[in-house]
Amino acid sequence: MYKEIILDYYKNPRNRGSLESPQSIARDSNPLCGDVVEMQLKFSNEKVSEIRFNGDGCAISQASASMLTELVMGKSIDEVRKIDKTVLLENLGSPNLGAVRIKCALLPLKVMKTALYQYLGETIPREEGSAIS
């Protein structure tokens, strides 16, 4: 089941690309492989009004980034704060990933949260940091 979801999002990525004048951009790589994910966000009325991702990496990382853009789009800042690894992995079909591949799935989440908190002028709260890695 999760393989179909991941392949679908990998082959037909939603929200891949760049925004004109994003209000926040974050980019990071998986230290184990060097694969990269970038997130660009715009906000309006305390909600995410636009989001795009770019990246170069394995199917899991790119599918996860794409799925995450859908989860975040239109959500309030408080709702986005609550999106953690459990939410993301459930939406990816609860893949049975090992210690290495889980980092592929969670890289986009870390990048998206970095972009969110950068916009807010804050750092990722410690308890939230442990819920996304």
Burial of 67-102, coded b for 16+ CB within 10 Å and e otherwise, reads bbbebbbeeeeeebbebbbeebbebbeebebeeeeb
Task: State how far Cα 12 lies from the chain centre.
Answer: 16
Q: How far apart are CA 128 and CA 68, in angstroms?
A: 16
Residue 58 found at the interface with ligand FES (CB under 6 A): yes
Show the tokens assigned to 114: 């970095």
Residue 54 found at the interface with ligand FES (CB under 6 A): no
Return the residues of window 102-131 that contact ligand FES according to CB under 6 A. 104, 107
**Which window, 28-36, 40-48, 70-78, 110-118, contacts ligand FES (CB under 6 A)?**
28-36
Which 8-state DSSP code applies to residue 49?
E
Residue 88 found at the interface with ligand FES (CB under 6 A): no
Using CB atoms, what's the residue nearest to ligand FES?
104
Residue 57 found at the interface with ligand FES (CB under 6 A): yes
Least Å from the CB of residue 55 to ligand FES? 9
Residue 64 found at the interface with ligand FES (CB under 6 A): no
Of 32 and 120, CB closest to ligand FES:
32
Q: Which stretches of the chain bind ligand FES, using CB under 6 A?
A: 30, 33, 35, 57-58, 60-61, 104, 107
